[in-house]
Amino acid sequence: MAVLNMYFIYSCILGLISCSVFLRVNYELKMSIMTAALVGYNTVFLHTHAHVLDSYSQVLFERPGIWKDLKTMGSVSLSIFFVTLLVLGRQNEYYCRLDFLWKNKFKKEREEIETMENLNRVLLENVLPAHVAEHFLARSLKNEDLYHQSYACVCVMFASIPDFKEFYTESDVNKEGLECLRLLNEIIADFDDLLSKPKFSGVEKIKTIGSTYMAATGLSAVPSQEHAQEPERQYTHIGTMVEFAFALGAKLTAINKHSFNDFKLRVGMNHGPVIAGVIGAQKPQYDIWGNTVNVASRMDSTGVLDKIQVTEETSLILQTLGYTCTCRGIINVKGKGELKTYFVSTEMSGSLSQSNLAA
């Protein structure tokens, strides 16, 4: 009987412990349950079953060195365990809340970092071609690292609006030239919109120099792919550049209608090997260099309004692609001597341009 009395106290203590082991239960709820259990256990010890514990206390009375009052011993033991479990429960809930706050803070910081990375990616892809931006985002580069790539066949185009120099004036009417720049910005922005069309996904805008728009095709992520293609498909990007030039002319014509101007586009094109690279660390600039670029620029500067002037080599490629080229003759090109150039026929450019704008 005495042993059963001690087991009864131990069972009550075990009941309190069992309430505290549920770590995810709210602290106030656990405290309420343990308080109700403590009151119930003390009621049993001190009132309803006090006579059972009193009979065992008489047995212990003859033993020296131990607490004789079993009721008080049980009540004090339960109270000590009660307070200890409350402290442990409160401490556990504090650390759980702290862990929750740290996880939320970490999640928010991670989302901010991902947002910043995506923003940096978008900004970088607006400055550099997509495959070049991936090159810089994929690895940690030092300022002295230089990105460069050689290409065997790239088509370069310069499209300029010579009339804009005469159009630009600084007066009170156009707010010291601000309205002229606003119109030029609208023209360049409309030209840029064409790059988002699937048909012109292979066209890379290089830069604008005043009212001159420079773009190129054939700047693939893997230059070795050019040699692996069939000869007919190897030069299809040159045809894409011609279509893009037609689309620029149609876009400029549409702008002329609502701005009441009569701007004309002058285009020069050439194809051949170039070197592409990024210069600058804080403000990187993607550009291409080579004799191909210089000749393309000369095709523009020596060209004719509303015409696309190309070199003889480029005209031969375009004729294999189905375009009609008319020989202009031999002209003197600064730094290159005399070159035989051709005009790409614009007889179909009207219908082609409209289809390009709608594509």
**pLDDT tens-place string over residues 90-112:** 888 888 889 999 999 999 999 99
| pLDDT band for position 56 (cuts 50, 70, 90) | low
pTM reported for the whole predicted model: 0.66
Indicate if the pLDDT at residue 11 is higher than 60. Answer: yes
CA atoms 49, 50, 51, 57: torsion sign: positive
The 10 Å Cβ neighbour count of residue 280 is: 10
- Do 108 and 161 lie in one domain? The reply is no
Q: Quick check: is 90 catalytic?
A: no
Is residue 64 located within the same domain as residue 154? no
Domain, as residue range, for 103: 1-123
The model's confidence at residue 272, banded by pLDDT at 50, 70 and 90, is: very high
139 in a structural domain: no
Do residue 115 and residue 48 come from a single domain?
A: yes
More confident: 216 or 90: 216
Q: Would the pLDDT of 225 be above 70?
A: no
More confident call, 146 vs 343: 343
Give strand pairing partners of 236. Answer: none
Q: Tell me the pLDDT band of 60, cut-offs 50, 70 and 90.
A: low
Q: What rounded mean pLDDT belongs to the chain?
A: 81
199 is catalytic: no
Which region holds residue 272: left if phi is over 0, alpha if psi is between -120 and 50, else beta?
A: left
State mean pLDDT over 57-64: 54
Q: DSSP label at 291?
A: H
Show the tokens assigned to 239.
Answer: 């045809």
Domain membership flag for residue 136: no
Tens of pLDDT, residue by residue over 61-95, are 555 545 556 667 777 878 888 888 888 888 888 88
The DSSP symbol for 199 reads G
Q: Is the pLDDT of residue 351 over 50?
A: no
Q: Are residues 114 and 158 in the same domain?
A: no
Give a yes or no: residue 355 inside a domain: no
Of the residues 71, 266, 298, 307, which is catalytic?
A: 298
* Sign of the dihedral defined by the CA atoms of residues 125, 129, 134, 137, in that order: negative
Structural domain total, the chain = 2
Place of tokens 């060209």: 303
pLDDT of the residue at 222: 67
Catalytic residue (choose from 103, 207, 334, 340) = 334
Residue 209 pLDDT exceeds 70: yes
Output 148 or 249, whichever has higher pLDDT: 249
Residues 118 and 152 occupy one common structural domain: no
